Amino acid sequence: MSRVSQFRLQAQYNRWFNRKLYEAAARLGPEGVALDRGAFFGSILHTLNHIMVGDLIWLRRFAAEHPTRPPVVPVGAEGWPDAERLNQVLYTDFEALRAKRDQLDAVIEDWIGGLSEADLDIDLEYRNTQGVAARRPFDLLLAHLFNHQTHHRGQVTTLLTQAGQDVGPTDMLLLIPNPLAAPA
């Protein structure tokens, strides 16, 4: 499997898992998702905001520093918040965050779908949120983007389980085709 194919699978998984996660969180209602549960970012809502902040920061860096075809959108476009701090709360309304998450996941999936192997073979120079300069392989930064999401979705899954909400199976294995499986 090529690196691009792996990232396409990760983008598909990202979108699938986020939909399951937001569906489970919605069952808690606005007060339940906003309740401080003692997690690193406090509430489920704030943790979900953090995931989006991380995505937007990285996508902005990718758009500014990497000449990929197609370019990353909609970072910097009208209607998208300017994420700057890792603990920033972009949306206090869960349903507004959910709608933007779904839009952003579609953007990520479409953008990853347009990348080539050659697009992955560059180093990206950027500054972190404290202004420290860095230069790292672009393909490994993409891996970090997806790993960051997975890490924090795991935290949200735990919070949801503690609140009595079952997210259901979440392994990426469920999206990997199995040619030996019997047709449904």
pLDDT at 86: 87
- pTM for the full predicted model: 0.90
Q: Residue 108: count other Cβ atoms within 10 Å of its Cβ.
A: 25
Compute the distance between CA of residue 61 and CA of residue 136 in angstroms, rounded to an integer: 12
pLDDT at 71: 57
Q: What is the mean pLDDT of each run of 10 residues along the chain (184 residues)?
A: 94 97 98 96 96 91 69 58 85 96 92 89 89 94 96 96 95 89 73
Considering only the C-alpha atoms of the chain, give the largest distance between any 2 of them, rounded to a whole number of Å: 53
Q: Which two tokens stand for residue 79?
A: 């209607």
pLDDT at 62: 85
pLDDT at 6: 96
pLDDT at 9: 96
pLDDT at 81: 79
DSSP-based three-state secondary structure for 69 = coil
Identify whether the C-beta of residue 111 lies closer than 8 Å to the C-beta of residue 72. Answer: yes
